Amino acid sequence: MQHLSLKMSNITKKFPGVLALDNADFELAKGEVHALLGINGAGKSTLIKVLAGINSIDSGQIWVDGVETVIDGTRRSKELGIATVYQAPEMIPSFSGYENVFLGVESSKRGLFPFINRKALRKKANEVLEEFPIDIDLDKPISDLAPIEREGVAILRALVLENISILILDEPTSILSHREAETLFEMIAAMKGRGVSIIYITHNLEEVFIVSDRFTVFRNGRNVGTYESDRSNYSHNDVAELMLGDKMTSIYPDKSETIGDPLFSIRELSHGTDFQNVSIKFHEREIVGVFGLVGSGIDELCKTMFGDLRPDAGQITVKGKDVALKSCADAINEGIFLVPGDRHAEGYISDESVAFNVTLSKLPGISKFGFVNRKTEKNATLKLIDKLKIAPGDPYGNISKLSGGNQQKAVMAKGFYTESDIYIFQEPTVGVDVGAKALIYRAIRDLSETCATMVISSDCEEVYGIADRIVVIFEGKVVLNAKTSEVSLDDALVHGLAGGHDNV
Amino acid sequence: MRINLFKRDNVLVWALLVLVLFFSFISPDFRRLDNLFEILRSCSLIALMILGVTWLVASGEIDVSFPNIAAFASIVTAYCIKIGIPWGATVVIAPISAIPLGLLSAFLINTFRFPALIATIAVASVATSLASMVNGGQPLYLAHSSDVVEYFVYGKIGGLVPVLFLLVLALFFFAKWIQDNTTVGQHLYALGENRKASLEAGINEKRIILSIFVLSALLAGISGVLLAASFSSGQPRIGGSFFIDGLTAVFLGSLMVKFGKPNVMGSLIGAIIIATLSNGITILGIPFYVGTITKGLLMAFCVGITMLNRKNKAPQLPT
Amino acid sequence: MSEVNKSLVAFLTFLAAILLMFTLQSEYFLTVSNFLQAFKHLSITAIAALGLCFVVAVGKADMSFHFFSCFAAMAMSYFISIGYGPVFSVLASLLLIASLGLLNGILVGRFGLPDMVTTIGTGTAVFGLAYLFSGGRYIYRNFIDSGIMQLNDGKLFGTIPIPVVVMVALYFLSWLLLHKSKYGRNFYAVGNKPLAARFSGIKVARYLAIAFVISALFASIANMVQVSAQGKGEIRAGVTLLMPAWAAVFVGISIFKKPTVYGTFIGAFMISIMQNGFTLLSVPFYYMDFVVALSLIGSIILANFDVITTWINKKRRG
């Protein structure tokens, strides 16, 4: 066990209703870059939260550098030399780069007034930085830095730990451009040179072969295999199959055969630097899937189409009529509904009943003379609970106590209750288990029979799986707009990652 | 370090200068040197009270109990003197007696997740009623005064420069050093700006909040002793003017030095501006309520400016 | 639900204990005339708290309503003193105060200024403005002749005091609005998650503005009753509304886990009945403040029972 930096065995972690880790094993050799793969809900994020000391385990054993240990808090995790760089690292925006690097560990002194030696910190941060092929002005406030520079600061923050031995990178490229990602890969190589073992979490199969020595695939909370990252032995499809198991084919409903009347279109829509000249047409019986990375402008596009942001230029047309949307309320009146991506902040009202949430966007539907009729409310909610199989099916149950998938279904039910003509589903299955996923896709497909539907997501596979037409947005511009049957998943992915220019 | 007076961060210094010139121009009484120093003396008590408040607001909390705690300490002072405790002991006992009130606020916030506003409203009420219980709600006159304490309150070096202001100034420079050069200062701003990031970085939120509340109560307690000396009595219900003056000074101060963030030097200058305003209004014979209106508007204005400059960034002020 | 029931039972038991104590201590306590008196007193706290309840329901804090109420009462007294009738005086000052409340609403709702600090600022400014009516002096003129004092002394059907009638009416209307109508849901949605509310098609800024207007209006009504009871326009009369109103709303929250009309009433009732009882026992006013503050602290601590237990366990372990 001497050569192992980390060994985890038989780790089990239960959350209410979900078995996040099910007797999972994981091994990390010293000085290797080990990619961790798996679809959403496979247990990757729980695993790293266990290592970071955020989640405690129900059972299982962990050895760090050959010594069995219990990680009971973030402090302990740090003491063990484990550092995590999260997907969107939290920083103090007005603090300078080096101040963020040393946040919380500015001084080893105790006492009433532990002095911060800014000069020394700055020097130390810059010394570590010099080993990397990137130049960051660490005196600038974080809010002025580019995404890769922030990522760099986050990595520096991990590396200034005196005893760093294991570094966890959680989807580090998701907010980086293609060029920036390459810089990151060089940084990873440099870190490897320092003898740090790295766990690299990603959705991007290509990155696995570029960056890692070995990779491990997680599925349903279990380790389904660890392999050498040798491009000649495994194709993307092999890896994808490992990740998905037998679910790859069954999860998505059939594609639509025919296309109905046009219902909705956007023409030359632009919003600042977020996206420019985006034109998409939407028809009945056709699901349009829009794929773009986080930061590519898809979030702003959704919000513009739903009236939450005002376009600088361009036209939104509903059923042949040009509309100017001033608010979300306007959009709903025009028959547009957005099922937002950040369910917890934008989707549902917590600690209220399912019925409260389902009927919220069309309260006149359940009220007479302005007063709510509980019976109408109950019946309307029950109908949608039944249709979307929301469990438990109590219309007056607290929505905060439902599982992620059922909360998502309740938010969708809220949309369905408005009987809109146009539905936008933003990241519809984030934090949703596989069973609920299939149901959500089915519901979207059923809806598309009579409505224009759009699924907008940073998960290419999902977009490819559900959509009849795929639109790919890269750095705010449409780089691909084609029938799904006419392009391959790889092709779509390449467009989304690099604008379709060079090989990834 | 070069100080550039034309930076946005220093606009307030100019505002103060304009204010002083304006009043000086129209009132000969105002521009007398002893009056100008009197302004500095009169701002000192407020400044003392809001030092802790400044840091609380910077770390995303709020304290509305500081005037009430000062009132409580002032009556404790008078009571101690009445029952024959010597001044030397009283000046220690009274400020220390204020600390439990700060502890109570911190305890309610840290342990029971009270919103800081509610916790400090409750503590303010506790402080006022405790203060009233000492002498049936009436002011309690000091049985005898102390030359030393009087010297701190009224003393002037060279017959001109108020001792109190010099002491407060020294305290503020020390506080500035703490704020800018120790982890406590660094962490309280980190907390105010991004609580999640701060907690992830392992910053001990509860300890920081506790220590600033204790500091705030202690300083309010010290001001209470000085108040008792300057009124020759302990006052259970000090007028609400300390409250609005203090908070306005804090938010005025957040417009300078560290733009958008309350900070000690800003608060000191804020307190001087408020004192100048009050003094000028009194000397010109303008009804005092014009001052109240102005301070209220000033406060809303400061907040507005800060927010407008922070469009598209996460708000940091307590909401 | 069971959790709510538990807190409710705890509070009712507490309330019963208080009532029992006062009954034993003072024979006058449990009489009709004392209860009418107590309710009259209750109505002032209860009405002001009810307005604040709307602001807390939309997730904001109002630190200005007590100052606004001073302005309204002085405006009313001023109108009375220059010869207008009570109805006009009341309505005109309510209109004035509503527009000032709207200012709060716009600053916080439309421009997104931080609620607490902004309302402290506007409240102070408006309190300063209230001095314009008389320079801070009492306003007596026409007070007795105008009939404004009927606002406090009048009785419906010769028995029920007008303040109580006003309180019941406002509570009933607010209950309909907040708990029975479709608009009530929007208030709660806005307070709970403003973003989710916006994406549900709710005009968030509008509801914030309405809440601040209601808060200013209700506090003003409460203070007008108070001023007409005193028989003179006194500028500081409304300042004391702040603490009991916040306490009432928070006691209500600690029972029902969210700001509600009935919770606010229970909170106001608990505070008022204690004040009334202590008055009968001739306890000085500042003890009452103490009790109000302690009951606020106590009720919230009681409501966080889980926190207490974990805290105690932690102390034991550590």
Which residue among A92, A99, A107 places its CB closest to the CB of B194? A92
DSSP string, A48-81: HHHHTTSS--SEEEEEETTEEE---SHHHHHHTT
The CATH number of residue B214's host domain is: 1.10.3470
The 3-state secondary structure of A159-173 reads HCCCCCCEEEEECHH
Q: Most B CBs within 10 Å: which of C68, C133, C297, as the mutation test of the B interface?
A: C297
Looking at residue C19, what is its pLDDT? 85
Looking at residue C308, what is its pLDDT? 55
Is the peptide bond between A392 and the residue preceding it cis, with omega within 30 degrees of 0?
yes
Please answer whether residues A443 and A463 qualify as being in contact, where contact means their C-beta atoms are separated by less than 8 angstroms: no
Which residue among B181, B184, B197 places its CB closest to the CB of A92? B197
Looking at residue C72, what is its pLDDT? 95
| A310 DSSP assignment | -
Same domain, A404 and A489: no
Write b or e for each residue in C163-175: b if 16 or more Cβ atoms lie within 10 A of its Cβ, otherwise e: bbebbeebbeebb
Q: How far apart are CA A366 and CA C180, in angstroms?
A: 12
**Assigned domain for A99 exists:** yes
The verdict on a CB contact (< 8 Å) between B307 and C112 is yes
Q: Which residue has the tokens 């004035």?
A: C96
pLDDT at B1 over 70: no
Q: Most A CBs within 10 Å: which of B181, B194, B310, as the mutation test of the A interface?
A: B194
Best-predicted range by mean pLDDT (A41-50, C68-77, C153-162): C68-77
Closest among A373, A327, A370 to C184, alpha carbons compared: A370
Please answer whether residues A384 and A416 qualify as being in contact, where contact means their C-beta atoms are separated by less than 8 angstroms: yes
Domains in chain C (CATH in brackets) are: 2-317 (1.10.3470)
Phi (first) and psi of residue A337, to 5 degrees:
-135, 135
Is the peptide bond between B100 and the residue preceding it cis, with omega within 30 degrees of 0?
no
Both tokens assigned to C217: 């209006």
Tell me how many domains chain A contains: 3
Interface partners of chain C (CB pairs < 8 Å, 3 or more) are A, B
Ramachandran category for residue A55: left, alpha or beta (phi over 0 → left; psi -120 to 50 → alpha): beta
A305 touches chain C (CB under 8 A): no
Q: Can you list the positions of beta strands (E) in chain C? A: 155-156, 160-161
Q: How far apart are CA A459 and CA A291, in angstroms?
A: 7
pLDDT mean over B28-46: 90
Q: How far apart are CA B224 and CA B238, in angstroms?
A: 10
* Selected residues 58-117 of chain C with any CB under 8 Å from a CB in chain A: none
**Assigned domain for B315 exists:** no
Q: How far apart are CA A168 and CA A84, in angstroms?
A: 5
C257 touches chain A (CB under 8 A): yes
> Domain range for residue A485?
261-335+422-428+449-504
Q: How far apart are CA A80 and CA A95, in angstroms?
A: 27
Same domain, A185 and A49: yes
Which residue among B128, B290, B303 places its CB closest to the CB of C121? B303
Parallel/antiparallel/unpaired status of strands A18-29 and A4-15: antiparallel
**Assigned domain for A356 exists:** yes
- A146 against B319, higher pLDDT: A146
Listed residues A249, A282, A314: the one ending a domain: A249
- Distance between start and end Cα atoms, chain B: 35
Same domain, A104 and A46: yes
Q: How far apart are CA A225 and CA A223, in angstroms?
A: 6
Low-confidence ranges of chain A (pLDDT < 50): 1, 502-504
**Assigned domain for A461 exists:** yes
Same domain, A36 and A170: yes
pLDDT at C313 over 70: no
The verdict on a CB contact (< 8 Å) between A306 and C199 is yes
Residue A7 CB contacts under 8 Å (≥ 6 apart), including other chains: A1, A26, A27, A28, A62, A63
The verdict on a CB contact (< 8 Å) between B315 and C121 is no
Query: Which amino acid is residue B109, in one-letter code?
Result: I
Parallel/antiparallel/unpaired status of strands B233-234 and A59-64: unpaired
Same domain, A102 and A218: yes
> Domain range for residue B97?
18-308
Interface partners of chain B (CB pairs < 8 Å, 3 or more) are A, C
Q: How far apart are CA A389 and CA C256, in angstroms?
A: 30
Same domain, A180 and A98: yes
Same domain, A137 and A186: yes
- Within 10 angstroms of residue B305's Cβ, the number of other Cβ atoms is 16
**Assigned domain for A85 exists:** yes
Q: How far apart are CA C146 and CA C79, in angstroms?
A: 10
The verdict on a CB contact (< 8 Å) between B190 and A103 is yes
Which residue among B62, B130, B292 places its CB closest to the CB of C128? B292
The verdict on a CB contact (< 8 Å) between C111 and B125 is no
Looking at residue A263, what is its pLDDT? 87
Q: How far apart are CA C17 and CA A181, in angstroms?
A: 68
Ramachandran category for residue C81: left, alpha or beta (phi over 0 → left; psi -120 to 50 → alpha): alpha
What is the Cα gyration radius of chain C? Answer: 20
**Assigned domain for A66 exists:** yes
**Assigned domain for A153 exists:** yes
Q: How far apart are CA A279 and CA A315, in angstroms?
A: 9
Residue C139 vs residues B171, C143, C235: alpha-carbon distances, Å: 46, 8, 9
Q: How far apart are CA A463 and CA A469, in angstroms?
A: 9
CA A366 to chain centre: 35
- C74 against A210, higher pLDDT: C74
The verdict on a CB contact (< 8 Å) between C307 and B112 is yes
Please answer whether residues B217 and B99 qualify as being in contact, where contact means their C-beta atoms are separated by less than 8 angstroms: yes
Write b or e for each residue in A61-91: b if 16 or more Cβ atoms lie within 10 A of its Cβ, otherwise e: ebbbbeeeeebeebeebbebbbbbbbeebbb
The verdict on a CB contact (< 8 Å) between B193 and A78 is no
Cross-strand pairs, A290: A456, A471
B304 touches chain C (CB under 8 A): yes
A106 touches chain B (CB under 8 A): yes
Reading across the β-sheet that carries A18-29, which strands appear in turn? A18-29, A4-15, A59-64, A67-69
Contacts of A94 in chain B (CB under 8 A): 189, 193, 261
**Assigned domain for A238 exists:** yes
Q: How far apart are CA C140 and CA C90, in angstroms?
A: 16
Looking at residue A246, what is its pLDDT? 59
Q: How far is B182 from chain A (nearest CA, A)?
A: 4
Both tokens assigned to B116: 């800081």
Looking at residue C127, what is its pLDDT? 93
Same domain, A313 and A352: no
Same domain, A245 and A303: no
- The angle formed by the CA atoms of residues A448, A449 and A455, to the nearest 5 degrees, is 10
Contacts of A366 in chain C (CB under 8 A): 182
Closest among A184, A191, A186 to A158, alpha carbons compared: A191
- Within 10 angstroms of residue C132's Cβ, the number of other Cβ atoms is 16
pLDDT at C315 over 50: no
**Assigned domain for B11 exists:** no
Closest among C195, C274, C18 to A303, alpha carbons compared: C195
pLDDT mean over B187-208: 88
What are the pLDDT digits (tens) for C114-136?
Answer: 888 899 999 999 999 999 988 88
The verdict on a CB contact (< 8 Å) between A104 and B194 is no
Phi (first) and psi of residue A254, to 5 degrees:
-65, 155
Residue C73 CB contacts under 8 Å (≥ 6 apart), including other chains: C93, C220, C223, C224, C226, C227, C233, C234, C237, C238
**Assigned domain for B313 exists:** no
Pairs across A and B, CB distance < 8 A: 58
Write b or e for each residue in A16-34: b if 16 or more Cβ atoms lie within 10 A of its Cβ, otherwise e: eebbbbbebebbbeebbbb
pLDDT mean over C154-182: 90
Same domain, A73 and A175: yes
Write b or e for each residue in A455-469: b if 16 or more Cβ atoms lie within 10 A of its Cβ, otherwise e: bbbbbbbbbbbbbbb
Looking at residue B316, what is its pLDDT? 36
Query: Percent of chain C scored above 90 by pLDDT?
Result: 46
Residue C200 vs residues A227, B274, B280, C114: alpha-carbon distances, Å: 47, 45, 52, 23
Closest among B209, B185, B187 to B200, alpha carbons compared: B187
pLDDT at B317 over 60: no
What are the pLDDT digits (tens) for C16-51?
Answer: 888 888 888 888 888 888 888 888 889 999 999 999
pLDDT at B6 over 70: no
Which residue among A90, A115, A143 places its CB closest to the CB of B197? A90
The verdict on a CB contact (< 8 Å) between A360 and C198 is no
Least confident among B99-108, B121-130, B310-319: B310-319
Please answer whether residues A74 and A30 qualify as being in contact, where contact means their C-beta atoms are separated by less than 8 angstroms: no
pLDDT mean over B213-230: 94
What are the pLDDT digits (tens) for C205-223?
Answer: 999 999 999 999 999 999 9
pLDDT mean over C262-276: 89
For helices C204-230 and C162-175, what crossing angle results, to 10°?
A: 170
Same domain, A199 and A329: no
Overall residue count recorded for chain B in this entry: 319
Q: How far apart are CA C42 and CA C59, in angstroms?
A: 25
**Assigned domain for A211 exists:** yes
C6 touches chain A (CB under 8 A): no
Which residue among B121, B129, B295 places its CB closest to the CB of C246? B121
Please answer whether residues A278 and A270 qualify as being in contact, where contact means their C-beta atoms are separated by less than 8 angstroms: yes
Cross-strand pairs, A24: A11
Q: Most B CBs within 10 Å: which of A80, A103, A160, A344, as the mutation test of the B interface?
A: A103
Q: Which H/E stretch holds residue B121?
A: helix B116-134
**Assigned domain for B118 exists:** yes
Tell me how many domains chain B contains: 1
The CATH number of residue A317's host domain is: 3.40.50.300
| A96 DSSP assignment | B
Overall residue count recorded for chain A in this entry: 504
The verdict on a CB contact (< 8 Å) between A346 and C203 is no
Q: Most A CBs within 10 Å: which of C195, C200, C204, as the mutation test of the A interface?
A: C200
Please answer whether residues B265 and B219 qualify as being in contact, where contact means their C-beta atoms are separated by less than 8 angstroms: no
Residue C304 CB contacts under 8 Å (≥ 6 apart), including other chains: B112, B113, C254
Q: How far is B187 from chain A (nearest CA, A)?
A: 7
Q: How far is C112 from chain A (nearest CA, A)?
A: 16
Both tokens assigned to C205: 């800024």
Looking at residue A20, what is its pLDDT? 85
Burial class of residue B86, CB neighbours in 10 A (0-12, 13-18, 19+): exposed
Same domain, A63 and A209: yes
Q: Most A CBs within 10 Å: which of C4, C180, C182, C185, as the mutation test of the A interface?
A: C182
Q: How far apart are CA A100 and CA A143, in angstroms?
A: 11
pLDDT mean over B165-189: 92
Q: Which H/E stretch holds residue A227?
A: strand A222-228
Q: How far apart are CA C141 and CA C139, in angstroms?
A: 6
Q: C289: pLDDT confidence band, cut at 50, 70 and 90?
A: confident
Q: How far is B170 from chain A (nearest CA, A)?
A: 17
Q: How far apart are CA B246 and CA B216, in angstroms?
A: 12
**Assigned domain for B57 exists:** yes
**Assigned domain for B7 exists:** no
